Chain A
Amino acid sequence: MGRITLDKVRKAFGEVEVIPPLDLTIDDGEFVVFVGPSGCGKSTLLRLIAGLEDITSGQIRIDREDATDVPPAKRGLAMVFQSYALYPHMSVRKNIAFPLKMAGMDPTEIDKRVNEAASVLNLAQYLDRRPGQLSGGQRQRVAIGRAIVREPKAFLFDEPLSNLDAALRVNMRLEISELHQTLKTTMIYVTHDQVEAMTMADKIVVLHAGRIEQVGSPLELYRTPRNRFVAGFIGSPKMNFVEGAEAAKYDAHSIGIRPEHVDMSRESGVWQGRVGVSEHLGSDTFSHVHVDGIGTINVRTSGEVDVRHGDTVWLTPTAANIHRFDKEGLAIR
């Protein structure tokens, strides 16, 4: 079991309120991602759940039991840190065994579990090395191994992949998702990378300045962002925003259209513009088109398109995919 409920949880460091009162429920077995720009309070929120920081007011329940005053060691949660936080003086085997040793488990059972975890994570031949002798990806796996052996109620990940190179990051992303499928344990995953959020989450919590902007499945957030912040944060490349007269035509203070929802043509369309930089990825082409009176619109086209700097093109937003926002930035439905 691993159901975590936050009830009016608030956190202030001295006078500075980092997390205004916030409610959130994380269901058993869910993969929840906290996403938001750096400094928005993701780590703080995760550490509140872990018990590494006290909450200023409110209540945290784990499986219906009040955990607000329970020290981290007793919450039954496991955490994977951004820096991995492996014990440098212990072998990989000892690292993974540490939580079990702390739980007072008998050595044969510890051995069995460590070996199981090691084989799941492909660490079997490294068990006698020190963390210092491992690559970044291997260290990450050790950290995960240390978390899974004790069969926690939930896993907490704080930007676990941000110290890895791009290729490895994609691999580990898959491995963690795989792990979640196998273990079916609640996971809370913090990242500032919306791609990680979109690809891994059952449920995304978008945070901004300590506030929850929206909670929902990846596609819900993509399709129906609640406000401009979410609309701009989720999706890559970023949504284009247009304000002023053009937005007024749609009865909105501003409108947003994703690059993949703009058609580009040489002959006709709604907006006429000049192509600036275009990025040719092979699979896609991103063209930055300067439209007079509107600004720069980023357009995504599938496959290879022959556009050059200075070309004149016509753009047409697909009407069904236009997001409208009011003065406060809230979506108009």
Chain B
Amino acid sequence: MARKVSQNRKALVTVAAWAVGIAIFFPILWTVILSFKSEGDAIKTPFEVLSANWTLESYSTVQERSNYLRHFWNSVVLSVGSTLLGLLIAVPAAWAMAFVPGKRTKDVLMWMLSTKMLPPVGVLVPLYLIFRDFGLLDTRIGLVIVLTLINLPIIVWMLYTYFREIPGEILEAARMDGATLRAEILYVLTPMAVPGIASTLLLNIILAWNEAFWTLNLTAAKAAPLTAFIASYSSPEGLFYAKLSAASTMAIAPILIMGWFSQKQLVRGLTFGAVK
């Protein structure tokens, strides 16, 4: 790390890196800017847009017109609910695989991963019919179940890689100290794994928040989260750039912020611990 770098070179890299960074971020930035403009201004040329007045009118229109808050709340319930439910199922499973590994543990893990490769569209029809017959279409509970199941392999894998870094001797010590399995997991393993569990939680909330296949196909209005809410803007109706921008900004802001906080864990989580 102690390589000497000339200031000139560093300045050059700085310019290049910032240029690329801003270019990649630009669509988001532009969306945010448009969201604070009036509809009339939002479709003008970039220079005119930048010099136009700033306004919050789009935000209030969006809320009035399409009940943003309800969809936002649906997104929260779906992503947090499915992640918590997933953790509840995955923590014991990951404990078992990390601390009582058997001959087939690796295979089970690989199999779980392979269920993620099942193309969702391959099971779209039956799931749609099951949902229809059980009255789960457009319900939050139905989607929570689906999101839990599609993210369960990732949750198990992430927890597994975190648990494996906890020395087994500490759990054995707990056992020697008279702890039951429940106490071992509750009082020793879980508190020690808090950082890992937290990043698993964060990443899976992000994934569930942005999931757009099942949420689009299995909801209509009542349980529709933000993904579906935004999709309703796909057929233009008059001037709508500013409103679309405001709605988009509100849909991505919370998760963008969470994402920035969890970027380090994101790598590890999404690569199943293969890249740290």
Contacts and interface: CB of A to CB of B under 8 A. Distances in A.
Chains A, B in direct contact (C-beta < 8 Å): yes
Interface of A: 50, 52, 71-74, 77-79, 81-83, 85-89, 98-99, 102-103, 146, 150
Nearest to A98: B177
A44 to B, nearest CB: 13
Interface bin, chain B: 10 to 19
B172 interface: yes
Contact of A73 (B175, B188, B194): B175
A73 B176 contact: yes
A143 to B, nearest CB: 8
Interface centre among B169, B177, B183, B191 (most CB of A within 10 A): B177
A85 B179 contact: no
Contacts, number: 60
B174 interface: yes
B167 A77 contact: no
Contact of A87 (B170, B175, B176, B194): B170
27 contacts: A50-B176, A52-B172, A52-B175, A71-B175, A72-B172, A72-B175, A73-B177, A73-B178, A73-B179, A78-B176, A78-B177, A79-B176, A81-B169, A85-B167, A85-B169, A85-B172, A87-B173, A87-B174, A88-B170, A98-B174, A98-B177, A98-B179, A98-B187, A99-B177, A102-B179, A146-B173, A150-B177
B172 A87 contact: no
A83 B169 CA distance: 8
B253 interface: no
Nearest to A149: B177
Interface string B184-199: 0001100110100000
A87 B178 contact: no
Contacts of A82: 169
Given A73-B178, A99-B178, A87 B169 contact: no
A83 B179 CA distance: 19
Contacts of A88: 170, 192
A98 B170 CA distance: 12
A102 B177 contact: yes
A196 to B, nearest CB: 20
B180 interface: yes
